[in-house]
Amino acid sequence: MSGNLDELDCRKMNVVEQLYELRARINKEGVDSAVHKLYTSIKSLKDLEKKENQFLLNRDFKHSQLQSEISELERKIANDCGHGSKSLTDGLHHSLTESPERFDLMKKELAARLRDVVAVRRQIDDLPCQSEIVQYEHRLSELYAQIQGKHRQTRKYYSTYNALLEIKELMLKETSLLNSIISQFQEAFSSTDGRIKLVHSMEGIVKGSEQKLRKVQLGLQEEETNLNDLKDRYAAAVGEHKRCYSLMKAFQEKCSKEKLRCQSSK
């Protein structure tokens, strides 16, 4: 009997040590910091892409504006060439007067834009590329799967520990009961009162066992109810998955038909 108790204590210590090792490994992985770093990098990348697109739009607008001015000037020169138009001369003089100032202003603006572009490019270069982000996502998926597996294993360890603890308590009670019966057995044969006392003691033990049996049966019924509930939820989830799959398949077929129709219309 004492050997079984020692074995249970040893198994209990092994389970507790495994739980501590599992917690240390989860903390060592640093999942929270990796997820936060990834989300921050993705957000910064989107902001930088937005700034770059805005700069390109402004550049195209300025280019179109300057191109329009050049075209307008060429048109005026073509219309007024050979006529000695004073308005053309005044316009050219005015344009030549303003050109250095505008040129300096455009140079400053261009330099500022170039500095912004260089800064944005450096920030983009510092960010992880698409392949690295895919690797991060793949690694996070692996870590999530490992954490889920460790979580299930931890729950299994806790269940095993609780079961072993209950077994230990039952064995201690059985040991105490056997010792009590042995101590009362000699008295039961020596006197009538001893036999009556032994019978009452055994009846109390039987009642206690019946109460424990009813408790175990109630627990079993609750587990069966939970199992049936999980089966119903699983069946509903499977049905929903099939419905979503059918909708996705119909949507893909519809997209394919629309794509073919657009290609044929062209």
pLDDT at 232: 92
> Does residue 183 register a pLDDT over 70?
yes
> Does residue 212 register a pLDDT over 60?
yes
pTM, 2 dp: 0.34
Q: Same domain for 144 and 73?
A: yes
- Return the DSSP state at 127: S
> Does residue 189 register a pLDDT over 80?
no
In which domain, by residue range, is 248 found? 191-266
Total count of domains within the chain: 2
Residue ending a domain, among 101, 132, 166, is 166
Q: Is residue 136 part of a domain?
A: yes
Q: Same domain for 195 and 83?
A: no
Share of the chain above pLDDT 70, in %: 70
8 Å CB contact between 157 and 15: yes
pLDDT at 195: 75
**Banded pLDDT at 28 (limits 50, 70, 90):** low
Q: Is residue 260 part of a domain?
A: yes
Q: Same domain for 12 and 133?
A: yes
Q: Same domain for 159 and 201?
A: no
- Return the DSSP state at 84: T
Interaxial angle between packed helices 31-80 and 130-190, expressed in degrees from 0 to 180 and rounded to the nearest 10: 160
Q: What is the pLDDT of residues 89-142, one digit of tens each?
A: 566 556 656 666 777 787 788 788 788 878 777 776 776 666 777 787 888 888
Between 175 and 90, name the one with better pLDDT.
175
8 Å CB contact between 41 and 103: no
* Contacts with 121 (C-beta within 8 Å, 6 or more apart), sequence order: none
Residue ending a domain, among 149, 166, 183, is 166
> Does residue 211 register a pLDDT over 80?
yes
Q: Is residue 113 part of a domain?
A: yes
Q: Is residue 33 part of a domain?
A: yes
pLDDT at 180: 75
> Does residue 2 register a pLDDT over 50?
no
Between 20 and 147, name the one with better pLDDT.
147
Segment (H or E) for 118: helix 86-126
Q: Is residue 65 part of a domain?
A: yes
Q: Is residue 146 part of a domain?
A: yes
Cα–Cα distance for residue pair 196/35, rounded to 1 Å: 71
Between 192 and 39, name the one with better pLDDT.
192
Cα–Cα distance for residue pair 69/66, rounded to 1 Å: 5
Q: Is residue 180 part of a domain?
A: no
> Does residue 1 register a pLDDT over 60?
no
Q: Is residue 118 part of a domain?
A: yes
Q: Same domain for 128 and 202?
A: no
* Contacts with 188 (C-beta within 8 Å, 6 or more apart), sequence order: 194, 195, 197, 198
Cα–Cα distance for residue pair 39/59, rounded to 1 Å: 30
Q: What is the mean pLDDT of the chain?
A: 75
Average pLDDT in the 138-163 region?
86
Residue ending a domain, among 151, 166, 181, is 166
Q: Same domain for 245 and 117?
A: no
Q: Same domain for 146 and 209?
A: no
